Amino acid sequence: MWRYALRRLLFLPLIVVLVAVFTFVLLRVLPGQDPARVMAGQGATPDQIKEIHRQLGLDYPVFPVSLRGEPPFVQLNRHDQFSKWLGAALRGDFGVTYQSQAPVRQEFARRFPASFELILLALIIGSVFGISFGILSALYRNSVLDYVVRVFAVFGASVPEFFLLTLLIILPSYLFNYAPPIGGYHSLLREPMLNLRQFGPPALILGIGGSAALMRLVRTTMLEVLRADYIRTAQAKGLSRPTIVLTHAFRNAATPIVTALGTAFLAVFGGSVIAETIMSIQGVGAFFFISTLSRDLPVIQFLAVYTAVVVVLANLIIDLSYALIDRRVRYS
Amino acid sequence: MATATSRQLPVAVDAGWETLPERPWYVRWRRIAAQNPLGVVALLIVVGFFVLGLVGPYVAPYPPRQLDAAAQFLGPSWAHPFGTNETGNDMFSRVLVGARVSMTFGAIVIVFGFVPGALLGVLSGYAGRWIDYVLQRSSEAWSAFPQVILVLTFLTAFGPGLRNIEIVTAIGAVFGSSRVLRAVAIIEKQKDYVLAAHATGASDARIFARHVLPNVMPYIIVGISGVFAAAVVIEATLSFLGLGLAVGTPGWGIDLNAAIRSGYGQQYPFLVLFPGLAISLVVLGFNLLGDTLRDILDPRLRGSR
């Protein structure tokens, strides 16, 4: 299994380079707004735009090889943007942001803890909530609890996150004149109350929003597993109900649930962009959003690679946990 | 052989099962409706919003952009059920007219994203080979990334605006629908009726168009409700974030954006509440409709969801 993991990890650089190339093409070839124009503001002369291009290195060809309309059709470029970026990136240098002129890595590191906490908190809330209520709903099928869970699962999947987050800002403010702490990052260890007031509510909404689909899936899978013959055997043996539910039923239902947890992670990871932007949390998600508005290419480039790494690692963890849950799954 | 058939046929007729009249369609539909009351509600919601999308501007009590300084920030009342905003626009009218933006957006994504994707999916599941491989790998890559991040990156590349949001959402819908329909087609092509059609000498194209496609149609409809709901949310979210519609246009996402950005939403929550509820209601309608159709298609799952 560990050899399998290692081999998968060896693919990581390849995927990262592919994502980097793809993002490069996307951001530099497609007709989106010119970042120089955003920086120069309205009424900039073509010369000024050219000067900004020169400063940002955008006047070089994008790739080391470019196509031409005449023979020999391909042209090798001595200086190009991609090799320069890749060379620096391999040394851990991802350039400076257009906005603040500070190193991208430093700006990222400053914002990472906030996002990490938000995502982790949301994921914990979502999985605890989704799995426990999914199991309960399957066990007490057609009870009041089951109906509440089912109605919640449908509604939870229908109300958009950004609407709930907006309500989270305006309703406490309207009803109690209360505002959550805004901006900065209050450390969980040093200022726990301030930290939880800042991160608790958005994490709750992201988590519970993500748990709706999970809850449904846990319920369906558990219902199917509970009908199995080995559950009846376990009951006949006189095992206690918690033992049957947790070690016999849940364990066998766990594989699709892990898959759903992976989907939930993606949803929360993406949702953090919206949550941080709405709640004015200075995290990676809000950073990404601001950078797309200003077309801050080095930042988007870096964050695309960062997302690719996170996605690949998350998928690897999910695949490996299949083997941990179910001994029949073997990787070689 | 001929004698065997002639000997069996009268028996079947005597048993009466061959002459049993088929119940008319409305009887069958009424039974399905009676068994799925939630589905009927969902259908009514969805159809209602489609109608609103068509006639919204004609039934709205006030012009949605009418400036009226005297009618600023009126709370909900009989004259203005959803209140009025900072320019005195009647929010009820704006929500009615806003249906057009969301429903048109969803329809465009279905026509230009879902339908080609579904055809591609059925084709790739049915024909296999390199089409299948290319489609599978790109759709895996697309779905591996968080949707919000993908859409925002593409939007940076294309530039903001409703047209570009439509393009990006449609691309996502192509991958989404092709994956579902591919799986269905793979199951479908192994069924006996395909074999039988082959045996009678039907061409692949004919089998695909006349036999496979009608059989996967219900799954296509289930998929459409899911993609439509997701598309409505994407448009509203991006407009809310200020990347879609222009401020002032009556649309649910952009109205929420206006209420928050101006800061008036804090004092007058109804400015946020009603457009948000409209979005939620549409999405709920499509989700419930999809669930109901799935239940009807797969009776094994009935009551388990």
At residue B21, the pLDDT reads: 66
Residue A307 to residue B159, Cβ atoms within 8 A: no
B149 interfacial to chain A (CB closer than 8 Å):
yes
Nearest-Cα distance to chain A for B260, in Å, is 8
- What does each of the 305 residues of chain B score in pLDDT, given as a tens digit? 444 444 444 444 455 555 556 677 778 778 877 777 888 888 888 898 888 888 877 777 777 776 766 766 666 777 777 777 777 677 777 888 888 888 889 999 999 989 899 888 888 887 767 888 888 888 888 888 888 888 888 888 887 788 888 888 898 889 888 888 888 878 877 778 778 888 887 787 787 777 777 777 778 888 888 899 989 998 889 888 888 777 777 788 888 887 787 777 777 777 788 888 999 999 999 988 888 887 777 655 444 44
* Tokens matching residue A274: 């919206």
A288, B149: Cβ pair inside 8 Å?
Answer: yes
Q: What's the CA gap between B305 and A220, in Å, rounded?
A: 6
Question: Who among B144, B269, B288 is closest to A315 (CB)?
Answer: B144
Per-residue confidence (pLDDT) for residue B305, from 0 to 100: 41
pLDDT of res. B272 = 83
Q: How far apart are CA A82 and CA A64, in angstroms?
A: 7
- Helix, strand counts (H, E) of chain A: 13, 2
Mean pLDDT (chain A, rounded): 81
- B24, amino acid identity: P
- The residue-averaged pLDDT of A109-136 equals 89
pLDDT in tens, A177-219: 777 766 666 676 677 777 777 788 888 888 888 788 888 888 8
Q: What is the pLDDT of residue B11?
A: 47
Least confident range of A94-98, A129-133, B160-164: A94-98
Q: Which residues of A touch B146 (CB under 8 A)?
A: 266-267, 269-270, 273, 307, 311
B30-to-A215, B24, B38, B40 alpha-carbon distances in Å: 32, 10, 14, 10
**pLDDT beyond 80 at A32:** no
Q: Please judge whether B260 and A169 are an interchain contact, meaning their C-beta atoms are less than 8 angstroms apart.
A: yes
User: Is residue A6 in some structural domain?
Assistant: no
| Residues on chain A touching B73 (C-beta within 8 angstroms) | none
Q: Residue A111: its pLDDT value, please?
A: 86
Distance, in Å, from the CA atom of B257 to the CA atom of B239, rounded to the nearest integer, reads 7
Separation of alpha carbons A201 and A209, rounded Å? 12
Phi/psi at A76 (5° precision): -90, 135
Residues B200, B203, B206, B207: what is their CA dihedral angle, to the nearest 10 degrees?
A: 60
Domain-located, residue A32: no
Of A157, A163, A273, the CB nearest to B148: A273
Q: Is residue B43 within 8 Å of B291, Cβ to Cβ?
A: no
B73-297 carries CATH number 1.10.3720.10: yes
Q: Is the pLDDT of residue A287 over 80?
A: yes
Q: What is the DSSP letter of A238?
A: T
CB pairs under 8 A between A and B: 126
CATH code, domain with A316: 1.10.3720.10
Provide the pLDDT for residue B283. Answer: 92
- Which of helix, strand or coil describes residue A172? helix
Q: What is the mean pLDDT of residues A131-153?
A: 86
* Domain assignment present for A135: yes
**Cβ atoms within 10 A of the Cβ of A29, count?**
11
Q: Retrieve residue A105's tokens.
A: 């890595």
B7 touches chain A (CB under 8 A): no
Q: Residue B70 has what DSSP assignment?
A: G
**Enclosing H/E stretch for B264:** helix B264-267
Dihedral angle at the C-alpha atoms of A268, A270, A275, A276, nearest 10 degrees? 120
Judge whether A223 lies within some domain. Answer: yes
Is the N-terminal amide bond of A72 cis, ω within 30° of 0? yes
Owning domain of residue A155: 104-325
Confidence (pTM): 0.82
Cβ <8 Å between A160 and B269: no
- DSSP states of B92-143 as a string? HHHHHHHHHHHHHHHHHHIIIIIHHHHHHHHHHHHH-HHHHHHHHHHHHHHH
**A163, A292, A311 ranked by CB distance to B144: nearest:** A311
**Token code pair at residue B18:** 């061959």
Q: Are A328 and A35 in contact (CB under 8 A)?
A: no
Distance, in Å, from the CA atom of A183 to the CA atom of A320, rounded to the nearest integer, reads 38
ipTM of the complex: 0.82
Between positions 294 and 313 of A, the ones with CB within 8 A of B are 295, 300, 303-304, 307-308, 311
CA–CA separation, B263 vs B43, rounded Å?
Answer: 36
Q: Does A143 touch chain B (CB under 8 A)?
A: no
* Residue B22 host element (H or E): none
Quick check: helix, strand or coil at residue A297? helix
Total domains in the fold of chain A:
1
Geometric angle at alpha carbon A219, from A214 and A223, rounded to 5°: 150
What percentage of chain A carries pLDDT values higher than 70?
91
Q: Is A65 helix (H, G, I), strand (E, B) or coil?
A: strand
> In what helix (H) or strand (E) does residue A67 lie, and over which residues does it extend?
strand A65-67
